[in-house]
Each structure stands twice: as structure tokens, then as C-alpha cells.
Structure 1
Amino acid sequence: MSDRIYSRIAGTGSYLPEKVLTNDDLAKLVDTSDEWIASRTGIRQRHVAAEGETTGDLAWHAAVRALEAAGVAASELDLIVLGTTTPDLVFPSTACLLQHRLGANGCPAFDVNAACSGFVYALSVADKFIRSGSAKTALVVGAETLTRMVDWSERTSCVLFGDGAGAVVLKADAETGILSTHLHADGGKKELLWNPVGVSVGFKPGEPNAGVRINMTGNEVFKHAVKALDAIVEETLQANGIERSRIDWLIPHQANLRIIEATAKRLEMPMERVIVTVDMHGNTSSGSVPLALDAAVRSGKVQRGQLLLLEAFGGGFTWGSALLRY
């Protein structure tokens, strides 16, 4: 038996708001159609948070389900890391609010903002805590209410995004779990996909939410995403000395079906071994990978002992991957 400590996924959970916005619904708001959206993105519908429903609310539902699946009480948690780019408040962090709501007071809790890569970043951070022995049980969440940042008059971007949350409970394990994580960023490309407003930049007196919108140069983002994900797939395989054929499931960030298909092609992996939820969820940013993982686990597709490759690309730019034995 190795002395190495792994972070094993003990349970998964997810949550989607009740309201569903279909492509046909969007066609009533902007000049678009179901065929136009689906042919370019693979998206058919997305979920939208109700008035008063926050990122923290979505995260709480997903977290409760993950804890139940893992058979873990909130009081047992040693760490909470939450990936989001749409926090409830500037501070305290949404993770702190979630910690109190769960009744897990005392353990460290903090947010990670890496846009659509947020969950993979958060997973990597939690894995390091467990590997070092600083934590034995951790809750990792990806949650977003991105529709609050959408310009509903901009037809090329408003069709892409949805709200949702996913969560996993990690437990220290001597035999199996996360094999490696790989993270990268390039802030030099920020204006290709960004929100130009922050606390210290862009606000005008008396207009606290002015300009809080997603700005994206879609074709450039696509090219950079495909290139970056190609590279990180190769990096992950080489770091673990494995062949592409050994991966049982690819669980990618659900941004665009074309990007997902390009990554699968790089892996020489048939789409039957790729988890796709973008058609039903749209792009839920940091929520997308754990949402897809939970859907795959609960449907019975992903089984214990299988090798999973998780990957994501987001604004920043940020990108990352995680290879794990489920």
C-alpha cells in the first residue's frame, strides 16, 4: 500500500432552478431561433434562477444532496471551497454563507473565482488540502447565477448561459481518488471574455450595478479554448503515463457542443463516452462540470473504479483538468 493520500469523491449532488427558458422562449425576446442556437452551440434550453434565488441558495441545495450521497454530516467537514464568479455578496464569501447554513461552522471556507474553470480550480485546491493532511473531508461546490449578468438584448451571448450548481464531497483515501490536477491562466486575453466592472474599476456613483454584463468575442474564445484544452489533455495524459484509450469518461465544461466534440476528437474518444448536458443546461460556468458529473453518476453511466477526465476553460483566460479514479 502506498503512503500517498488521495482525495476520493464520496458523493455528488446538483441543483437546477425550476424555471426553464427554451430556445423558442428566447426567440420571443431577440432575433434568434431554436435552429440557429442549437446548430451553433448544441443548447436547447437553460434554467434561470427565480427572483430572490441566489447563488448561495443553489449551492446549498447541491451541497445537501452531495452530503447525503456521501453519508457525511456537515459537522464532519474540514474544508469548504466554492467556485463562483457570481457570489451573493462581495464579502463575506458565498462559501462562508453556505458553511453557516449547513451548520459546518469552524472549518475554513472560501470562494475561488476562475470563471468557468472555477470548479476545477476549487477541486484542485481541496485536493491539495487533503493530500497535505490538512483536511480529511472537504466539500467542493461550483455554483452560478450567470443569467443575472446576461444582456438579454445581445443575441449572440444571451442564448448561451444558464444557472445551476453542482457539488462533490471529497474524503481522504489511501487507495484511489484524484490522480492529478493541472491549472493554467493567461490574463493577457481578458478582454475576449470578461465583465468590465468591479469594486475598484468601472462603477459610477449612484449606479451600483451599471455595466455588469458578460462581454465575449465568441470566435476568438472558441479558438483559444480548443487549443488550450488540447494542450491540457496531453499534459494530463503525460503526467500520469497513460494512453487515451484508458479514459472511461470525458466530463468537460459544458460551454459549446463544438468545443466538446473537438476535445473528444483530440482524445480519439467516441461521443458515447463523453458526458453532454449542454443541451439541457446551457453554459452554467463553474457549475457545469459538477452538474454533468452528478447527472452521469445518478444516471448510472459513471461507475466506481472508472477513470474520469474533467476539464474546463473560462474567462481570464483560465483552464484546468483533473484526472481521477471514481
Structure 2
Amino acid sequence: MSTDETFVLSTGAALPGDPIDNTALAKRFGVNAQWVELFVGTRTRHFAVDLDTGAQTHTLTDLATAAAEQAMVRAGLEAADIDFVVLGTATPDMLMPATVNLVADRLGLDQVATYQLQSGCAGAVQALDLGRRLLDEGDGTGNRVGLVIGGDVCAKHLVLDRDTTGQPPSELINYVLFGDGAGAVVLSADPDGARMRLDSVLNRFTGLGRDPAQVIHWWGETGPVEGVQAVTEDYKAIEERVPGMAVEVLHELLDARGWDKSDLSFLLPPQLSGRMTQKIVKELGVDGAAEVSVVADTGNNGNALPFLQLDALAPLLGAGQRAAAVAIESSKWLKGGFTVEGL
């Protein structure tokens, strides 16, 4: 865990199209709207595809560029001010070229370092961790300002015209759990104009000997493998393990800063779903902190979520106020988080 100072100049967010509520989802996929509300706890989500035609309306490049542009405008920066770009995603637009390079091109960036990290929800924390380490710490790199982006476009992997009758819950859940979107932050080595300070980042693999709870196959030119489900979700394992992992992360973050739960003004909990978020928040027991959650309205859009939470936190966080964020990835069990202070 690194504790060197890094400053957040601004945030940005991008969601595709209008929100899709559970009634529209139920009509399209034949699921029960009340089941979605009660079991998943998500009210709306945004899809980068047209539900009627199945045509893709937004790429990850589109959304990541829009979020980054908003963050740059809010920070008052031009392309020439950016020294590097980091993108965390589980759903790049293609294997090559890397989506981060398409985003850099859209933003008018050139001669800058670019990095793309492939992971699930924890990828956002990994991207933040890498971004803060890329900032100049007296090593002569000259990196003073960088863009860190997280986003996913999950809907493009769904077969919208399939009959969902009789589908196993491990596959059906993916049609109601996920959404699409992107978020971004501008990191700086200097405090001038900063909204908050990024105090610490935790990024840990904890999956030794544990079976993955989420698997997404990437079919190449050979096509799908007969008898192999493309996307699987062990929701029971997630429900059992994630709350405890979240508690571990929060305690480690607080111990690293010498903080107590009572020092927190805001809590950014894991955003697996609306229902799971409620369960985790109760387990974390930070009663004095205001919860900053977005998943019930945005759907689980993976790497975008911690950035969307930061975007929601930015106008709320006052000088001296503290916040802790926790992110859990169930694919092969990763835990992460970070702390910030208002300036």
C-alpha cells in the first residue's frame, strides 16, 4: 500500500442513452420486474446498445473519451497538459488496438505514455494505483498530470433476442445486473486547484485456492465452445464472501491512515448491485458516514463505478472531510480501496 500524496483535480462521468427501468427490462427479456427489484435491488441501468435492434450505440472509446473530456474541462486542462493515460476495463472494444490508445487519439494526445489494465471492478483501483505511481516523485520523469479512466460496455456481450425462459440464474442474472458507462479523474502531483487528496490505495489479490465466482469467456475466430456458458456468475459465493472481504479492506485502509470509523464523513461501498450494497453497508457498520452509492441507478458498470462514486462525492466533500472507498472483484477474488480527504 502506497501513502504518498496525490491530488485529484477533477472528475468526469459518462452514461449511454436514457436509463432503462425494470419494467422495460422485464418486457424485453421476459423476467419479473419485481424479482429484479427485490433480488438485485437495481432500479435502472444504461445500455450502450439499442434494446429493440441490438445495434451498439456507444463504444467504450466513446464513453471513456466523454468522461475524460468532462474531467479535463472541469480541471481547465488542454491535451498538452496531460502526461499519461491509464484505462481500467474488463470489456475493451477489441483485443488490439488497446482502447486506451483510441481514447488518447480522440482526446488529441500524442507522445504520452498509455496503459490499459484488464480486470473487473478492482481494475478501477488498480488504475488509480498505477496512475499515482506514474506521477513524478523526484525521479525526473516529468509526469505532473495524468488521466485515469475506468469503464465497461457489458451489454454488447448479451444476446438480446434469445429466449430467457429456463435460463439458469447464473446466466439470467447478467441480463439484469449489469450496465454500461465510464468515469475519469485527473490526478496531479501538485495541490493547486485540487478538490481532494488521494491518501492511500490498497490493491490485493486474495484468490489463492479459491474458485472464480465470475467467468467471462472471450471467443476468438473459432467461435463459442459447445457446452461452455459464455458468462457465469456464482452469486451465492459472492453473497457469502464479499461482505467479509469489504470489512477487511476498510479496516486495513483505516489502520494505514491511523483513522477510526468515526473519522469518516463518507463511505463509498462496493457496488455489485443495489441489494448487495445495502448488505455490505450494514456489515461495514460505519453509521456516522454518509453512503455514496450509484449502482441502483447506473447498474453494475464495472470499472466505471468507483469513478462514478468519486464524481458523486466531489461536490459533497468539504475541506478536511474524509472518505473511504472499497471495491471487491469476485472473478478470482481481488480486494481494493482508497481513502481521500477534501481540500
Deviation at 1:261, TM superposition (A): 2.8
Alignment correspondent of 2:52: none
Deviation at 1:263, TM superposition (A): 3.4
Deviation at 1:125, TM superposition (A): 0.8
Deviation at 1:323, TM superposition (A): 0.9
Q: 1:235 aligns with which of 241, 252, 271?
A: 252
The secondary structure found in structure 2 opposite 1:283 is coil
Q: Deviations over 1:52-71 (max 9, x none)?
A: 42101000000000011111
Question: What aligned pairs does 1:88-99 form with structure 2 within 5 A after superposition?
Answer: 88-99=93-104
Detail structure 1 runs of 4+ shifted over 6 Å in the superposition: 208-212
Deviation at 1:285, TM superposition (A): 0.4
Q: Deviations over 1:23-62 (max 9, x none)?
A: 1112123343332112222201110114242101000000
Whether 1:112 and 2:129 are equivalent positions in the alignment is no
Relative to the length of structure 1, the TM-score reads: 0.88
Q: 1:313 aligns with which of 328, 335, 338?
A: 328
Alignment correspondent of 1:14: 13
Q: 2:295 aligns with which of 260, 273, 278?
A: 278
CA distance in structure 2 between the aligned counterparts of 1:262 and 1:246, rounded to whole angstroms: 22
Q: 1:263 aligns with which of 258, 272, 280?
A: 280
Aligned length: 316
CA distance in structure 1 between the aligned counterparts of 2:30 and 2:11, rounded to whole angstroms: 38
Deviation at 1:272, TM superposition (A): 6.7
Alignment correspondent of 1:182: 202
Q: 2:217 aligns with which of 196, 204, 218?
A: 196
Question: What aligned pairs does 1:157-172 form with structure 2 within 5 A after superposition?
Answer: 157-172=174-189
Greater shift, 208-217 or 309-318, is seen at 208-217
The secondary structure found in structure 1 opposite 2:121 is helix
The answer as to whether partners of 2:89 and 2:119 remain within 8 angstroms in 1 is: yes
The answer as to whether partners of 2:273 and 2:296 remain within 8 angstroms in 1 is: no
Deviation at 1:271, TM superposition (A): 8.5
Greater shift, 98-107 or 176-185, is seen at 176-185
Question: What aligned pairs does 1:1-326 form with structure 2 within 5 A after superposition?
Answer: 6-50=5-49, 51-130=56-135, 132-133=137-138, 134=141, 135-150=143-158, 153=164, 154-173=171-190, 177-185=197-205, 186=207, 188-189=209-210, 191-197=212-218, 203=220, 205=222, 207=223, 213-270=230-287, 273-297=290-314, 300-314=315-329, 315-326=331-342
The secondary structure found in structure 2 opposite 1:177 is strand
Identical aligned pairs, as a percentage? 28
The secondary structure found in structure 2 opposite 1:14 is strand
**Structure 2, unaligned runs of 5 or more:** 50-55, 165-170
The secondary structure found in structure 1 opposite 2:318 is coil
More helix by share: 1
What letter corresponds to residue 177 of structure 1 in structure 2? R
CA distance in structure 1 between the aligned counterparts of 2:135 and 2:278, rounded to whole angstroms: 33
- CA 40–302 in structure 1, closer or farther in 2 if over 3 Å, else same: farther
Q: Deviations over 1:145-204 (max 9, x none)?
A: 011223553432210000001100011136972211111122644532111336xxxx46
The answer as to whether partners of 2:224 and 2:230 remain within 8 angstroms in 1 is: no
The answer as to whether partners of 2:42 and 2:275 remain within 8 angstroms in 1 is: no
What letter corresponds to residue 119 of structure 1 in structure 2? A
The secondary structure found in structure 2 opposite 1:98 is helix
The secondary structure found in structure 2 opposite 1:111 is strand
The secondary structure found in structure 2 opposite 1:109 is strand
The answer as to whether partners of 1:306 and 1:325 remain within 8 angstroms in 2 is: yes
The answer as to whether partners of 1:189 and 1:316 remain within 8 angstroms in 2 is: yes
Q: Deviations over 1:235-293 (max 9, x none)?
A: 11111111011111112332123432343334432387011212211101001111122
